[in-house]
Amino acid sequence: MDGSGNCIEIEDGVTAIGSGGLYAHSAALGMIDDARLSAESICHRSMKIAADLCIYTNHQTVIEVMDTRTDADKNFHPTVAYWDERAKGAQIYNLLAYCGIDYTHEMLARGPAPDFHKDAWTEKKKEVGELLNFPNVPYLLDQDNGVNLTESKSIMKYIAMNHSPDLLGRDAYELGTCDMISRMHDSWYNELSKHGKNSDEEGL
Ligand SMILES: N[C@@H](CCC(=O)N[C@@H](CS)C(=O)NCC(=O)O)C(=O)O
């Protein structure tokens, strides 16, 4: 609803009103396809651009964010453990962030180069090894629901299924396509990671 009481139809998922509205609207349209930016961040950046350009708009903004998480998400507080590096953990953290799921992040410290020893995991395994069917990292523990999982892609499927099964594919073709990309990603990752901890730049 604008200041004159007119109802505005939203196109492209973005709208803005007020004197600086066209600046903010244009700025937001320029960012809307960038998957790295949240709606809140796009709003914040757009309002800043509008305030920089429009003499009738100031930099004092109040941003209200609707909590769109389902009850299932709110009751889902898994623990995810992995090394203190991105590698196989990052895809899981990204998915959890995308789904807006709070989680406990246990970071295991790798030893220094050149050995990168795994003592942190050897110790941790004494504590969680019996809870896991196939002890490895990354692992996800969702003790409220009696769930323990290893294998990064299996963990991601579990999170997606919990949050929104559509993420796994809405029909047979999409499901197959997601699985294909996931397996290609594994092949690519496995090849690349062989070179991750040495200085074989030619091999890389
Ligand atoms: N296929 C498994 C591979 C898991 C894996 O290779 N984990 C490595 C780190 S990326 C590890 O250090 N595991 C503990 C160990 O080998 O003791 C997955 O995708 O999660």
- Asked whether 151 lines ligand 1 (CB < 6 A), one says yes
Report pTM. Answer: 0.69
pLDDT at residue 127, as a whole number: 93
Signed CA dihedral, 46, 52, 56, 61: sign only: positive
Domain ranges in the chain with CATH number 3.60.20.10: 1-66
- Mean pLDDT, the chain, rounded, equals 90
Domain ranges in the chain with CATH number 1.20.1050.130: 71-168
Atom 5 of ligand 1, nearest CA residue: 137
Residue 167 DSSP symbol: G
Total number of residues shown for the chain: 204
Distance 138 CA to ligand 1 centre (A): 7
Architecture per CATH, domain 71-168, reads as Up-down Bundle (1.20)
The CATH number assigned to the domain with range 1-66 reads 3.60.20.10
Mapped onto helix, strand or coil, the DSSP state of residue 79 is: strand
User: Sheet holding 104-108: strands in order across?
Assistant: 104-108, 79-83, 139-142, 147-150
pLDDT digits (tens, 9 = 90+) for 24-74: 999 999 999 887 677 888 999 999 999 999 999 999 999 998 877 777 777
